[in-house]
Amino acid sequence: MQTRRLGNSDLDITPLGFGAWAIGGGGWQFAWGSQDDAKSIAAIQRALERGINWIDTAAVYGLGHSEEVVARALEGRDRRPYVFTKCGMVWDAQGRITRSLKADSVRRECEASLRRLRVDTIDLYQFHWPVESLAEIEEGWNTMVALQREGKVRWMGVSNFSVEQLEHIQRIAPVTSLQPPYSLLHRDVESRQLPYCQRQGVGVIAYSPMASGLLTGAMTRERVAGFPQDDWRRNSPDFQEPGLSRNLALVELLRRVGQRHGRSPGEVAIAWALRDPVVTGAIVGARSAEQVDGFIHAGDFHLASDEVRQIEDFQRASRTSQQDAHA
């Protein structure tokens, strides 16, 4: 896979990165159900064997467990991938999650992530979610700058930020990257965040390009109905009616487009997210080596303009039908 420069950094990243959310395992607020660590390690190692050169995780995934699994997967490797992680979502002894970008919290999280990941420096450290207070966001960003100065963080990014929040911290220090949700089902960032990032030279790392597994082609109503109790997707509108039927119809269109090229619906969905040149890379999660093999070629797959138009026309007609139904 060819690489792309991420924002103002010296990081040349592959268009696909390994997403480590689900490998945090079960039993916490935003879990995907239980997960076998051995399969997680095999998935990470297969991704690296197939050319992916970065991993995106977060402290809160599995309440620290995802970072520990990433460290185990990378143990003893001569050539290490870039490791990106996030702070700002903290938990108490009962596992209750809150948000904090206070200076002492950001610093404490950074030290804990360094320890769990077994690294001296985090390649890209990101705020996971903003807080309401701009003053607290500013306090946290100033702490990030200090951590970078101390050599504990190489580059600084944010996730799920608005343009106003980006503008606020850009006055303090440059933002290397924004990580927004971006898929055929979630395109809100097209109106403001993506144009802003293009103007400002901020890298964009799209997360959930396959809409949390919904656009992979492997999702069915039966599978959704059988989600374990601790799978957060049970409560997502994307996986509930009437949205589920519309989304599965979209998958069938992606399947037809992919069949022309010997590609899966998931690869078509990822290629669609990567079609915009402002998107530097896409985070793709996997829970097994086989899942990695199923999406790995999306990084060098390009949709024709008429295929993009066909997909977007379908989406537009689907939205119109939905609005008519509620009229």
- Catalytic one of 61, 82, 182, 207: 61
CB–CB of 4/15 below 8 Å?
Answer: yes
Beta strand 54-56 with 82-87: parallel, antiparallel or unpaired? parallel
Chain centroid offset of residue 197 CA:
17
Rounded (5°) CA angle 10-15-17: 90
Give CA–CA dist 295/301, Å, rounded. 10
Question: Other CB atoms closer than 10 Å to residue 46's CB: what's the count?
Answer: 19
207 carries an active-site annotation: no
The stretches of the chain forming alpha helices (DSSP H) are 37-49, 65-74, 103-117, 134-149, 163-170, 193-200, 221-225, 243-259, 265-274, 289-295, 305-326
The residues annotated with a catalytic role in the active site are 61
